[in-house]
Structure 1
């Protein structure tokens, strides 16, 4: 019961947060002007009331002297605000003395308590309340005529001290309420009700100052949240954020604080080590594993989480801690998303290199650093090249050839993939049209569409324009999408794919079997081609389960009248097994590596027939 009462009281009372420096200085200057004016005014008042110049000077000095501590070198906020408050309260004591305990003179204490409350700190505010009680009780007992102006109070100074203290406390409640509301204003996220960045940093700084042990921060960023806003609308996005905030809050302890930093970014300050914080992060991943249902439709939520604690920071500051957690979060994203990563030394340098690479990527298209290489797709039954897959390459001016696995995720994350993808599509369709004219037969081209292109960009208009500009028949263009695009909003993806298919192009599901979809998705997707991931193809012929899995995928695709392309074929053994399984098409180093367009020559393409026995088996099956 006592604990519950204490928590309720702590919630109701203001925290005594630090005001922004400029706000504090402005208020402090106002208090100093009042204090200085009172010192001069009370000295003059003493002279007018017939006191000697010496007495008047001493009274003025008693009010002004505490102000000396406000200008001491190195004096902090606490000392300066306490000294200014002491001057204010000394003025109230002197005024009551000069007025010989007149009741109305005590009203001055009310005004001084209000001025002390401007600091929004418990030290000056507590001083004001304590001085009122001490002055009325102690001084009223020793010198009753100097404090109280009527006989009943002079005979019972402590009783009247409590009476006056009760009135001051009652007036203080109004100051406390205003103080509390002022603290909350601008410190809470209006959508979720969570703390915002300012309050989080203040809480973290306070925890770092009070605790000798480690303090940790989690930085959380929802993966691909922009796609939800773009495809479902901001109202759905807001409802999703509210639900996510509730689930995160349910994973932390009462001593921890959850904040929304803005957009789809959240943070949690944890009183504990990085290990404790990582456990909180794992609970958050578990809590968000269940989809969020909005307007009757399920949205799968994934979140990347970075963790940093004060032991790994160069200094014990809230800003450093949050920055380190942010860096760890970005590593979580680049490592595959939906995971927890703990900050370690060297991440800052890696993040800087990554930021430089993103900056360079923004100008790569304009400066001609990007190129399209083409890898042949072979029809296994006849062993002839039927088309090519367009693959992006980046020749950096100083770094050399940057691997696609390194820069494609960065382009996806930064949004540069939309412009880059548009350029690749234009180049690939133009090249396929040229090859078709030179070869005198249709040459197909396959181009990858990223998830951001699929949902962010007006991809239908982009594809239509590329086909029109190049003159390539739509049936010769295959657009490849990975299974990962299906996890966020299947219906939205299906709608876009249907619109693309309406143009006459073909749709391929790339890396099939490794993503998030189930086989049942194939019945719903407007797909024409299934591409078997290279990880399955590499194990063909080794006696493992891959042969059974590949056979099942081929059989399923055949039942749905889908074409099958096996990726990553590198050996004759893999080639032979695919022939026995009646796989229709394949790609891989066995047939040709990705090369610039100038190297490829579809008109004189080398045929790669199956061994005679395997070819007969394939035809018979």
Structure 2
């Protein structure tokens, strides 16, 4: 059964959706037919003798269905179905009125095709179903109203069944084939229409391109006469279309080249496209270089009918190409110069860092059996030349030194400038350590020679670090240069103007110093530092009046680290600022602690580095430290080295003035070891001079007045300054200092540096020295 239904469904036409206007036109025709059938049914019933009421009753079903099919609020499908049923109802009434005569049944088949006007199978199927029900159901129950009386009902039903089925099947098959054919035709028409539309659009686009392009586009006949002329051609040649169309294309060619037109037209007989460069002329007579792309125009059978040309003015393009060729030659020359500059120093002409690295990599990769060497040179005292005389003088020194360095080595060796006043000499395959040392000696001698610059003459030496190249050690260029740099700093530390050969221990020392710097950065904040205090004794009263704060570092791994070890590292790395600030704060807190313990009013001296002076914010740090501890800043004494007053003279003077304004005392420490002048001391806000222990050590009971210490005491007294002697260890030294009129002393004779709590015991004890006669004790 499902298979039969599927085959029946495939037989039905698929139908199609009619446009509204067409559907309504068909529907109006069906409604008019129903109206006419209503009149026919009424007339036929009257003629058959049914009377007016009978005729009216028979007409009502047809009229009602026709009226319902006209209702506008129903859907299209609902109205179509009602109309189809109405048509079949009209036929059934006519058959009934005719007494079931066979001829009346043909009205069914006459009206059935009208249901197909809706182009959907549902109304048609409803009409066929109506006929089947009418004949088989009503014919069986009221056969006198369907078939003629006196005949076999089964015979008549079978006969009409055959007619109905065959007619319906024929209609369906015809409709289905008609739909298939219609769909094919519509698809072909649609495809062809789309092709024609695409061709039309393509032609329109091509026409738009031709009309809008800046290039000249024209077509010509087979004999060379212009047929079409676009706006681009008008702009390029200056001719309007009316002036050119019909004329031969020779009118566009510059004089002297018109004879080339004929061969070009002949060439199009064998070729589809020809690309030419010709001189053409404009309407005003000016000539330009034209690039022509000429294409043959052929009809459908391939016969040549003309040609089309696209013309472009390439005068500027040709000029640009010529300039480009010229520029290319010039750039090639410049590229060679740039390549040289990229690998050489612009000032000295020596190899630069890039070229040096390339050659050093080549030497290391070659793995020669003979050792080579890298010598890194740093000029001594070069900064003074730049600072005093300017960069012009510095450039003159660098250029002269570079030339001399080149003359000291072999042609196969490389001399490079790394930057600033650093040079590198790569000695390839030296015969041994002695030969490398000889090269270094020559380089030092060459750098020591004076360099004239106008009226001035400069003398600079150099320090050299040497890294020997051992093919077996596996170092890369960076490591070799690093080792040479370490050795160079070792040479500077040894006194400058000399060379040093790198040893592994040097690198270990640098690593250790680097670790020391890292440790220093965290030491102050982690409580690793402490202060010891060495008492200072006033010789006039014999009592302890103050103490010098001395920093000690308790390293968590290395134990006690003395200032001689960590202070130079701290100054070179900048961590000395952290230590100075910590020491100031700790000294202020200790003063407050001594006050709370009931000690006499003491003064604490704190050493400050030259770097800290140069920063310019020392006064702010002193003020904030004293305020935080609740002590008077006048209880502090800032000690600076004699060297600090000259290394950054202006900054030091300005900073010391600000600190002195707070009431803080200023002392010059290690006096006599630097280069202070008498005039310099007069302008600085200094309160005390501290004689270095080396001069105190030279005193004994018999020598005093003629000693250096005596001269220093005299200088201090002449400037109105107190004088403190450091490193007093013997009674003879103390007697000599008393005789010289020294104000205060400190040293092991009175006490070593001790923790803060021991200072209290020393202060409360008897005076460490007897007071001078006439002074209170």
- 1:179 corresponding residue in structure 2: 336
- 1:565 corresponding residue in structure 2: 724
Counterpart secondary structure, 1:599: helix
Please list the CA deviations of residues 240-289 of structure 1 after superposition, one character each: whole Å capped at 9, or x if unmatched.
6675454354345151746244xx7733427573454366457768979x
- 1:403 corresponding residue in structure 2: 562
2:663 to 504, 508, 519: 504
Counterpart secondary structure, 1:250: helix
Q: Work out the CA distance in 2 between the residues paired with 1:302 and 1:385.
A: 51
Could you tell which deviates more after superposition, 423-432 or 462-471?
Answer: 462-471
Q: Work out the CA distance in 2 between the residues paired with 1:563 and 1:303.
A: 42
Please list the CA deviations of residues 116-159 of structure 1 after superposition, one character each: whole Å capped at 9, or x if unmatched.
xxxxxxxxxxxxxxxxxxxxxxxxxxxxxxxxxxxxxxxxxxxx
Counterpart secondary structure, 1:445: strand
Counterpart secondary structure, 2:757: coil
Check whether the contact 2:613–2:651 (CA below 8 A) recurs between aligned residues: no
- 1:581 corresponding residue in structure 2: 740
Does 1:247 find its partner at 2:397? yes
Please list the CA deviations of residues 342-375 of structure 1 after superposition, one character each: whole Å capped at 9, or x if unmatched.
1342211111111111111111122211111111
1:493 to 637, 644, 652: 652
2:436 to 245, 248, 273: 273
**TM-score, length of structure 1 as denominator length:** 0.59
1:348 to 507, 528, 537: 507
Check whether the contact 2:344–2:351 (CA below 8 A) recurs between aligned residues: yes
User: Alpha-carbon deviation of 1:391?
Assistant: 0.9
Alignment of 1:412-431 (within 5 A): 412-431=571-590
Q: Cα 1:243–1:489, aligned 2, differ >3 Å: closer, same or farther?
A: farther
- 2:611 corresponding residue in structure 1: 452
Q: Cα 1:470–1:459, aligned 2, differ >3 Å: closer, same or farther?
A: same
Q: Work out the CA distance in 2 between the residues paired with 1:303 and 1:405.
A: 29
- 2:754 corresponding residue in structure 1: 595
- 2:298 corresponding residue in structure 1: none
User: Alpha-carbon deviation of 1:572?
Assistant: 1.5
Counterpart secondary structure, 1:378: strand
- 1:609 corresponding residue in structure 2: 769
Check whether the contact 1:258–1:267 (CA below 8 A) recurs between aligned residues: yes
- 2:485 corresponding residue in structure 1: 326
Unaligned runs of 5+ in 2: 1-324, 409-414, 428-434
- 1:84 corresponding residue in structure 2: none
Unaligned runs of 5+ in 1: 1-167, 229-235, 294-299
Check whether the contact 1:307–1:325 (CA below 8 A) recurs between aligned residues: yes
Check whether the contact 1:373–1:390 (CA below 8 A) recurs between aligned residues: yes
Counterpart secondary structure, 2:742: coil
Could you tell which deviates more after superposition, 499-508 or 244-253?
Answer: 244-253
RMSD between aligned alpha carbons? 4.3
User: Alpha-carbon deviation of 1:388?
Assistant: 0.9
User: Alpha-carbon deviation of 1:423?
Assistant: 0.9
Aligned pairs, number? 426
> Does 1 or 2 have the higher relative contact order (CA < 8 Å, sep 6+)?
1
User: Alpha-carbon deviation of 1:442?
Assistant: 2.0
- 2:375 corresponding residue in structure 1: 217
- 1:16 corresponding residue in structure 2: none
Check whether the contact 2:532–2:549 (CA below 8 A) recurs between aligned residues: yes
Counterpart secondary structure, 2:724: strand
User: Alpha-carbon deviation of 1:206?
Assistant: 7.2
Counterpart secondary structure, 1:366: coil
Q: Work out the CA distance in 2 between the residues paired with 1:597 and 1:518.
A: 36
Bigger radius of gyration, 1 or 2?
2
1:259 to 412, 417, 423: 417
User: Alpha-carbon deviation of 1:332?
Assistant: 5.3
- 2:636 corresponding residue in structure 1: 477
Does 1:198 find its partner at 2:362? no
Check whether the contact 2:610–2:647 (CA below 8 A) recurs between aligned residues: no
Q: Work out the CA distance in 1 between the residues paired with 2:490 and 2:674.
A: 21
Q: Cα 1:187–1:276, aligned 2, differ >3 Å: closer, same or farther?
A: closer
- 1:541 corresponding residue in structure 2: 700
Could you tell which deviates more after superposition, 274-283 or 427-436?
Answer: 274-283
Q: Work out the CA distance in 1 between the residues paired with 2:533 and 2:730.
A: 20
- 1:76 corresponding residue in structure 2: none
User: Alpha-carbon deviation of 1:553?
Assistant: 0.7
Please list the CA deviations of residues 552-596 of structure 1 after superposition, one character each: whole Å capped at 9, or x if unmatched.
111011000011111111122211211111111111111111122
Does 1:387 find its partner at 2:546? yes
Check whether the contact 2:382–2:421 (CA below 8 A) recurs between aligned residues: no
Q: Cα 1:338–1:254, aligned 2, differ >3 Å: closer, same or farther?
A: closer
Q: Work out the CA distance in 2 between the residues paired with 1:468 and 1:302.
A: 50
Q: Work out the CA distance in 2 between the residues paired with 1:521 and 1:450.
A: 19
**TM-score, length of structure 2 as denominator length:** 0.48
Q: Work out the CA distance in 2 between the residues paired with 1:306 and 1:605.
A: 58
Q: Cα 1:584–1:217, aligned 2, differ >3 Å: closer, same or farther?
A: same
